[in-house]
Amino acid sequence: MKNILVLGGTRFFGMKAVELLLDSGHRVTIATRGNSPHPFGDSVDHIILDASDGTHPGWAEVADQKWDAVFNNVLYTKEDAQLMIDKFESLTDQFYFTSSMAVYSGDKDGYQETDFNPTTYDIDETIEVTYGEGKRQAEAILYTKAPFNVTAFRFPIVLDIDDYTERLHFYVEKALNNEKIYFNNLNSKVNYVKGTTAAESIVWAIEKNKSDIYNISSSDAVTLGTLMDWISEGLNKPLDLVEMEHFEESSPFNTPHDQYLISEKIHLEGFELKTLGEWMKPLIVALKEQFEEE
């Protein structure tokens, strides 16, 4: 049994990870701002904490014990990263956090972990800090300054029936309503990860004491056109697809070029990955049924 602290574990795949850790018999403490009730009842300890505020009184409670592992699912900037170093320097030897495919950039036939090296990344204080840049800078700080072991999970878009961002929901709903769906390039290759798989990979790494950087996605990639075909098949109706260079309409999966992860590394180390179709096709049908019930 490990004593584990989780920051950002009350919704979506963070919540799933906490549930899996509890199922495996670990002692789990969640740290949240306490703005809303958490779903775990008495099965977890709960610390009220604003993890982005270094002066928050909740840090005193965090410092009252040592942690076998700390998992941070809400770390977005170099300032967040430095605060983690300052607060956990003497409290843990194993730190895990959610990074992103967004650390990679450019048109490439699949991103591998070596395509972004945080230990050699020079932080430019003058540029705009986008989501991807924030994750790059956070990795750079942690991998060059942290006194503890660090594991980064580089996820693509995470999808599931309970995805609060509802990105796959968007396309299913558009199709059911016979609305136009826009893309720059339907031949762009993509892949994603299921929420349950993301949670399982986090637990796997914690239980295996992994200290590394991992891409975690489906084991394959498909074109956006193929993905739209799956939606059409799952809904049993044609889609009104529009392919054009410039448009103002929302399209959360849109990318003008290939944008997918190669996740062979974690697979070779023993974590099982599914193909995209294995879980995406049933998810599309489940979403269809959900919309029909509403």
Same domain for 60 and 102, yes or no, is yes
| Model pLDDT for residues 4-21, shown as the tens digit of each residue | 999 998 889 999 999 999
Residues 98/101/105/111 CA torsion (nearest 10 deg): 130
Look up the pTM and report it: 0.96
Between these two residues, 106 and 241, which has the higher pLDDT value?
A: 241
Percent of the residues in the chain that have a pLDDT greater than 90, as a whole number: 96
Domain range enclosing 278: 161-190+219-293
Count of C-beta atoms within a 10 Å radius of residue 242 = 13
Same domain for 26 and 113, yes or no, is yes
Please tell me the predicted confidence (pLDDT) of residue 168.
Answer: 98
Same domain for 231 and 205, yes or no, is no
The rounded radius of gyration (Å) of the Cα atoms in the chain is 20
Same domain for 186 and 256, yes or no, is yes
Please tell me the predicted confidence (pLDDT) of residue 47.
Answer: 97
Please tell me the predicted confidence (pLDDT) of residue 294.
Answer: 76
Helix (H) or strand (E) run with residue 292 in it: helix 276-293
Mean of pLDDT over the chain: 97
Residue 223 sits in a domain whose CATH number is 3.90.25.10
Coil, strand or helix at 209: coil
Count of C-beta atoms within a 10 Å radius of residue 269 = 13
| Model pLDDT for residues 245-277, shown as the tens digit of each residue | 999 999 999 999 999 999 999 999 999 999 999
Task: pLDDT band for 34, please (50, 70, 90 cuts).
Answer: confident
Same domain for 14 and 101, yes or no, is yes
Task: pLDDT band for 42, please (50, 70, 90 cuts).
Answer: very high
Share in percent of the chain as helix, strand, coil (round to 5): 40, 20, 45
Number of domains forming the structure of the chain: 2
Q: Read off the DSSP letter of residue 32.
A: E
Same domain for 104 and 224, yes or no, is no
| Model pLDDT for residues 138-169, shown as the tens digit of each residue | 999 999 999 999 999 999 999 999 999 999 99
Same domain for 26 and 134, yes or no, is yes
Q: What angle do CA 151, 206, 113 make, to 5 degrees?
A: 30
Cα(225)–Cα(26) distance, rounded to whole angstroms?
43
Same domain for 128 and 234, yes or no, is no
Coil, strand or helix at 132: helix
Task: pLDDT band for 35, please (50, 70, 90 cuts).
Answer: confident
Residue 102 sits in a domain whose CATH number is 3.40.50.720
Provide DSSP, 218-248.
-SS-EEHHHHHHHHHHHHTS--EEEE-S---
Same domain for 152 and 168, yes or no, is no
Same domain for 166 and 152, yes or no, is no
Same domain for 167 and 139, yes or no, is no
Q: What are the structure tokens assigned to 79, written together?
A: 């300032």
Q: What angle do CA 144, 148, 152 make, to 5 degrees?
A: 70
| Model pLDDT for residues 58-74, shown as the tens digit of each residue | 999 999 999 999 999 99
Please tell me the predicted confidence (pLDDT) of residue 132.
Answer: 98
Same domain for 80 and 202, yes or no, is yes
